[in-house]
């Protein structure tokens, strides 16, 4: 008798009474609704406030299209470069031991803690008219700041750690056993990477790429500093939103913003899918019979 | 395709360390068996220097061209001091709100079942995915006196847009995922046996939470708090639309830098940016220390 009572009490002790539970769920949902659902819904309702025609009008402007094009170009350059870096950095940091590794990992994370505005400023100080390379660039008629290359550089900076920081812990957790086995069996470095490492890290890789892409397309502060805001030339989508908004073209601003919000939603869907796949793979791996020791 | 490009570089290693089955590769220390160390580390350092270290050093060198008096007057004028107070104060307040509600959301997501839980879980990352400028104009539309929330609050004399309140609201939005996402995994891994033991020993549910669960998640909670705070200090896009940007009142420090740049005051902008950079270095150190504390806790 006393034994069953203890068990019942122990069970009750790891859950809360129903009223506490539902109050906590209620508060959490109210908070999520106020701070996440409402702002998201507001983007679309503001965009459609004056009907579908006014909404579509925003996309008839050539400036809007040049902003969309520039955003796509920027992401198409920044994401692959950071992908190459992310894989190389994760390989070096996760697969080998060397001095200063912890410091290097911290440096890789550094761009996350630098304000976007400061990120933009450093490129102005490097390549601006009064910057280190300013006079040389002017003499050779190369424009970096207030032009597309500056926008791409600033975007690369702010999205720098995304892929590396997804891959480093993942590859560290996986260790080097499988790669060493492949090497012993005579695989080249390339074959080892392509057939052994890549399948193991693919979900982490996709995860990093979509987050990197979302930030690359949505970056505002850093790009705003280096862009110069030349309509139709150096405006990305977020900058175009700002210009329209400041000109009181609210519907047009929210129309472009709704496209970016859709991008965010697609990102969240892919991200959830990747997490789900990753967990499924993990479970499947856990259910495999224990490996026999390599002798 | 790009992954192939990276990997295409990796075999640069084999010539340096041939893994031929004929040679006694297995006897060598494991860390040198895999090819590509020099190539990947070399590329990592090169890219890091090119994109991050050299440009950041440009900021430091530019600062050293200022005299001490110039530097001090640029970073301590009353308008700049007011912006520090707002930036750090609002970030702190927003991080506190996020610590409380983020812990609550993480708790609810880990411990309870309710309809729509998966969607809520996915939605928590929205501030990471939604461009800050979009968040900024959307929050402004909501909180302005004719917006859904603003029109409800106006009769009570509460205005949340175009003043300091707006800054805090925007920073709560931006920092929301940090606490949830750092606390959630720790809460998932927490051992239920400890809670059962506490209950068997006669602890109330609150005592169990206070003395058993909370100490386990405290390092993660602090880490999330520090990350949300650090993000808030640097935030620009979401804040400038909703803040009203009144000098001395609702002007954040990143906006001061932009303002100085627009007046071609590069020296002043650099000086203020250096202060912000030092602040972010400091916070990076704190976050690193918190994370290693957290690892030690969960390892023990």
Q: State pLDDT tens for residues A60-96.
A: 989 999 999 999 999 999 999 999 999 999 999 999 9
Does B199 sit within 8 Å of A12, measured CB to CB?
A: yes
Q: Which of A179, A166, A80, A163 is nearest to B5 (CA)?
A: A80
Q: Which of A284, A204, A225 is nearest to B270 (CA)?
A: A225
State the average pLDDT over residues A248-270.
Answer: 95
- Write out the DSSP string of chain A: -HHHHHHHHHHHHTS--HHHHHHHHHHHHHHHIIIIIHHHHHHHHHHTTTHHHHHHHTTTSHHHHHHHHHHHHHHHHHHHHHHHHHHHHHHHHHH---TTHHHHHHHHHHHHHS-HHHHHHHHHHHHSTTSTTHHHHHHTT---TTSHHHHHHHHHHHHTTHHHHHHHHHHHHH-SHHHHHHHHTT--HHHHIIIIIHHHHHHHHHHHHHHHHHHHHH--HHHHHHH---TTTS--HHHHHHHHHHTT-HHHHHHHHHHHHHHHHHHHHHHHHHHHHHHHHHHHHHHSPPPPPP-
pLDDT at A196 over 60: yes
Q: What is the ipTM of this complex?
A: 0.89
Does A220 sit within 8 Å of B133, measured CB to CB?
A: yes
- B5 part of contact set with chain A, CB < 8 Å: yes
Question: Is B248 domain-assigned?
Answer: yes
Question: In Å, how far from its chain's centre is CA B152?
Answer: 32
Give A288's pLDDT tier (boundaries 50, 70, 90): confident
- B25 part of contact set with chain A, CB < 8 Å: yes
Q: Is the dihedral of CA A59, A63, A66, A72 positive or negative?
A: negative
Q: State pLDDT tens for residues B272-295.
A: 999 999 999 999 889 888 888 888
Question: Is B129 domain-assigned?
Answer: yes
Does A219 sit within 8 Å of B125, measured CB to CB?
A: no
- B106 part of contact set with chain A, CB < 8 Å: no
CATH number of the domain enclosing B192: 1.10.3720.10
Q: State pLDDT tens for residues B114-156.
A: 999 999 999 999 999 999 999 999 999 999 988 899 999 989 9
- What chain B residue is nearest to A97 in terms of C-alpha separation? B31
Q: State pLDDT tens for residues B55-86.
A: 999 999 999 999 999 999 999 999 999 999 99
pLDDT at A235 over 70: yes
- B190 part of contact set with chain A, CB < 8 Å: no
Question: Is B47 domain-assigned?
Answer: no
**How many structural domains are present in chain B?**
1
Distant-in-sequence, close-in-space partners of B166: CB < 8 Å, separation ≥ 6: B139, B140, B143, B160, B239, B242, B243, B244, B250
Residue A201 C-alpha, separation from nearest chain B C-alpha, in angstroms: 11
Nearest to B142 among A38, A84, A225 (CB): A38
pLDDT at A170 over 70: yes
State the average pLDDT over residues B195-222.
Answer: 88
Does B11 sit within 8 Å of A238, measured CB to CB?
A: no
Q: Which domain holds residue B152?
A: 54-299
Question: Is B38 domain-assigned?
Answer: no
* Chain A residues 86-125 within an 8 A CB cutoff of chain B: 87-89, 91-93, 95-98, 104, 106-111, 113-118, 121-125
Does B138 sit within 8 Å of A87, measured CB to CB?
A: no
Question: Is B31 domain-assigned?
Answer: no
Residue B13 C-alpha, separation from nearest chain A C-alpha, in angstroms: 7
Question: Is B7 domain-assigned?
Answer: no
Does A183 sit within 8 Å of B30, measured CB to CB?
A: no
Question: Is B48 domain-assigned?
Answer: no
pLDDT at B14 over 90: no
- Chain A residues with beta carbon closer than 8 angstroms to that of B112: 21, 24-25
Question: Is B76 domain-assigned?
Answer: yes
pLDDT score at A5:
58
């Amino acid at each position: 008798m006393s034994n069953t009572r203890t068990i019942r009490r122990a069970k009750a002790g790891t859950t809360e009474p129903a009223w506490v539970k539902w109050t906590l769920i209620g508060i959490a949902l109210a908070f999520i609704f106020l701070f996440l659902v409402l702002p998201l819904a507001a983007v679309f309702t503001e965009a459609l406030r004056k009907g579908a025609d006014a909404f579509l009008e925003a996309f008839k402007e050539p400036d809007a299209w040049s902003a969309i094009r520039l955003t796509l170009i920027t992401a198409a350059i920044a994401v692959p470069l950071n992908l190459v870096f992310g894989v190389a950095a994760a390989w070096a940091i996760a697969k080998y031991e060397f001095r200063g590794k912890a410091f290097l990992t911290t440096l890789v994370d550094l761009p996350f803690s630098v304000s976007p505005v400061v990120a933009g400023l450093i490129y102005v100080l490097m390549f601006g008219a009064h910057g280190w390379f300013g006079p040389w660039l002017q003499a050779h008629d190369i424009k970096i700041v207030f032009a597309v290359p500056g926008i791409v550089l600033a975007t690369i900076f702010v999205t720098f750690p995304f892929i590396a920081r997804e891959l480093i812990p993942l590859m560290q957790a996986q260790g080097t056993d499988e790669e060493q086995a492949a090497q012993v069996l005579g695989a080249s470095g390339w074959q080892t990477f392509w057939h052994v490492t890549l399948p193991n890290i693919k979900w982490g890789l996709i995860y990093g790429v979509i987050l990197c892409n979302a930030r690359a397309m949505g970056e505002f502060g850093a790009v705003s500093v280096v862009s110069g805001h030349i309509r139709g030339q150096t405006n990305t989508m977020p900058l175009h939103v700002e210009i329209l908004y400041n000109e009181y073209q609210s519907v047009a601003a929210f129309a472009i913003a709704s496209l970016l919000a859709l991008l965010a939603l697609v990102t969240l869907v892919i991200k959830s899918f990747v997490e789900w796949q990753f967990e499924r793979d993990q479970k499947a791996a856990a259910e495999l019979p224990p490996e026999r020791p390599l002798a | 395709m790009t992954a192939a490009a990276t990997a295409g570089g990796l075999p640069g290693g084999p010539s340096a360390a041939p893994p031929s089955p004929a040679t006694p590769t297995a006897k060598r220390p494991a860390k040198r068996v895999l090819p590509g160390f020099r190539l990947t580390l070399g590329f990592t350092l090169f890219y890091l220097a090119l994109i991050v270290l050299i440009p950041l050093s440009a900021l430091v060198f530019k600062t050293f061209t200022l005299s001490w008096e110039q530097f001090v007057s640029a970073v301590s004028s009353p308008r700049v001091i007011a912006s520090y107070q707002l930036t750090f104060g609002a970030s702190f307040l927003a991080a506190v709100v996020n610590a409380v509600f983020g812990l609550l959301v993480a708790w609810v997501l880990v411990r309870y079942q309710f309809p729509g839980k998966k969607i809520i879980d996915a939605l928590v990352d929205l501030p990471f995915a939604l461009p800050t400028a979009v968040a900024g104009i959307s929050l402004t539309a909501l909180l302005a006196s004719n917006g859904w929330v603003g029109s409800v609050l106006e009769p009570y004399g509460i205005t949340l847009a175009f003043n300091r309140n707006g800054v805090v609201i925007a920073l709560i939005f931006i920092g929301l995922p940090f606490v949830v996402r750092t606390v959630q995994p720790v809460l998932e891994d927490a051992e239920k046996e400890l809670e059962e033991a506490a209950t068997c020993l006669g602890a109330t549910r609150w005592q169990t939470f206070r003395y058993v669960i909370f100490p386990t998640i405290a390092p993660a909670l602090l880490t999330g708090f520090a990350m949300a705070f650090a993000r808030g200090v640097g935030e620009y896009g979401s804040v400038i639309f909703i803040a009203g940007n009144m000098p001395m009142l609702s002007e954040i420090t990143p906006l001061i830098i932009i303002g100085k740049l627009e007046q071609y005051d590069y020296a002043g902008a650099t000086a203020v940016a250096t202060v912000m950079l030092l602040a972010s270095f400091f916070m990076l150190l704190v976050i690193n220390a918190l994370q290693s504390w957290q690892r030690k806790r969960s390892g023990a």
